């Protein structure tokens, strides 16, 4: 039986990846920073910012652990970069030859048109920069392993019933006031969380030896305005209120300063705003052509209906 270690298995995407791998017949070890509700099989509770001890050997590492995408440079270096160093150090010592890393569309920076995997990587926010650093670190540290497979998945905007995007967005829409920076005309690519999980399995089954990179996105890039309008319609609410960017940046600054005084996570950060207003439309052609990947939710409209049904069920 093929075995896999899933890091970040307590997170929104990590949980789905671990469950999908288990359902596909993999022997799954779930590494999470916090304990999980219920009887979670093969759970390893550990903070990856600290070195790993003795773990059972595994055939694959699916690396998804990381900090909040709206965090700053310092926090991401102390979290994501430290996690990557500790995981790679342990993996190399354990003889792990197969890796899949959950990167992000933000490594491309300001995307003009639709980005393929050959597009320049010019990240403009800390989250994109740190993801690119981990990509390079993993590629460099594993280059002398033979044979090996290192797969980088550059993932679009992920949504689903239990994700922060859908839960917070629908809550704000139902309260009657949902502010949004700018005009919402930024193009980007979405992908349902279940399709992300299926992309991990597809890569593990079909990726070639060596290093390979694939964009993970649905077939229909669109703007935030289109996505938000559809969510509002399905929820039976008014659409968001679009505010001038300087006003939202001022609010984010006040939120950050207030969070420092109270010790709480800020509601909105300046990096999170930049995350929202940066265009990031992706081509998924390579993933489909080279690995034969098939989307369960080719467009956001199909995926949104499932996500909102799931949100109602969980509520």
109, 279 contact by CB (below 8 A):
no
pLDDT at 315: 46
Position 270 confidence tier, pLDDT thresholds 50, 70, 90:
confident
Note whether 141 and 88 are within 8 A (CB).
yes
Whether the per-residue pLDDT at 211 is higher than 80: the answer is yes
**49 lies in some domain:** yes
pLDDT (0 to 100) of residue 312: 54
Q: Which of 269, 8, 284 is CA-nearest to residue 134? A: 8
CATH code (residue 44) = 3.40.50.720
Whether residue 264 is contained in a domain is answered as no
* 27 inside domain: yes
How remote is the C-alpha of 179 from its chain's centroid? 23
Q: Could you report the per-residue pLDDT of 15-49, keeping only the tens digit for each?
A: 999 999 999 999 999 999 987 776 677 899 999 99
pLDDT at 160 over 80: yes
> Around Cβ 166, how many Cβ atoms within 10 Å?
21
The pTM for the full model equals: 0.94
Buried b (16+ CB within 10 A) or exposed e, 296-309: ebeebeebbebbbe
Token code pair at residue 309: 């049904």
In percent, the amount of the chain with pLDDT more than 70 equals 95
- What is residue 197's predicted lDDT score, i.e. its pLDDT? 98
Q: CA-CA distances (angstroms) from residue 28 to 6, 151, 209, 230?
A: 7, 18, 22, 36
pLDDT for the residue 39? 61
To which H or E segment does residue 216 belong?
Answer: strand 210-216
d(CA 85, CA 65): 12
Q: Is the pLDDT of residue 225 over 90?
A: yes
250 part of a folded domain: no
User: What average pLDDT does this structure show over 61-74?
Assistant: 93
- pLDDT confidence of residue 266: 66
| Residue numbers of the domain that contains 132 | 3-159+191-217+282-298
How far, in whole angstroms, is CA 92 from its chain's centroid?
24
What are 193's two structure tokens?
């969380």
Q: Which residues are CB-contacts of 211 (< 8 A; sequence separation ≥ 6)?
A: 139, 142, 150, 151, 152
Report if residue 60 sits inside a domain: yes
CA distance 296 to 302: 9
Our count of domains for the chain comes to: 1
**Chain-centroid distance, C-alpha 51:** 23
Closest residue by Cα to residue 191 from 104, 71, 267, 131: 104
| Lowest model confidence (mean pLDDT) among 19-23, 75-79, 250-254 | 250-254
31 within a domain of the structure (yes/no): yes
Structure token digits, residue 224: 């935030």
Whether 171 maps to a domain, the answer reads: no
Residue 305 has pLDDT above 80, yes or no: yes
């Amino acid at each position: 039986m093929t075995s896999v270690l899933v890091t970040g298995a307590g997170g929104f995407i990590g949980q789905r990846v671990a469950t999908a791998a288990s359902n596909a017949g993999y022997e799954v070890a779930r590494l999470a920073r916090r304990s999980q509700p219920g009887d979670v099989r093969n759970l390893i509770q550990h903070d990856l910012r600290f070195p790993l001890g003795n773990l059972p050997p595994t055939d694959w590492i699916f690396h998804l652990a990381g900090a909040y995408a709206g965090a700053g440079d310092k926090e991401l270096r102390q979290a994501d970069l430290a996690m990557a160093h500790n995981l790679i150090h342990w993996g190399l010592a354990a003889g792990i030859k197969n890796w899949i890393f959950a990167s992000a569309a933000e490594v491309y920076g300001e995307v003009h048109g639709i980005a393929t995997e050959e597009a320049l990587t010019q990240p403009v926010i800390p989250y994109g920069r740190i993801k690119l650093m981990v990509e390079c670190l993993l590629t460099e540290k594993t280059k002398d392993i033979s044979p090996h497979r290192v797969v980088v998945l550059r993932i679009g905007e992920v949504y689903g019933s239990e994700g922060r995007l859908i839960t917070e967005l629908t809550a704000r829409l139902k309260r009657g006031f949902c502010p949004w920076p700018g005009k919402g005309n930024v193009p980007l690519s979405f992908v349902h969380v279940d399709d992300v999980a299926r992309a991990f399995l597809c890569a593990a089954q079909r990726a070639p030896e060596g290093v390979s990179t694939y964009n993970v996105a649905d077939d229909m890039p669109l703007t935030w305005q289109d996505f938000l309008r559809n969510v509002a319609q399905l929820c039976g609410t008014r659409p968001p209120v679009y505010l001038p960017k300087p006003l939202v940046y001022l609010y984010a600054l006040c939120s950050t300063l207030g969070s420092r005084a109270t010790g709480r996570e800020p509601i909105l950060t300046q990096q999170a705003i930049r995350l929202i207003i940066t265009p990031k439309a992706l081509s998924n052609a390579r993933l489909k052509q080279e690995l034969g990947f098939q989307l369960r939710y080719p467009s956001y409209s199909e995926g949104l209906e499932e996500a909102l049904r799931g949100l109602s069920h969980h509520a």
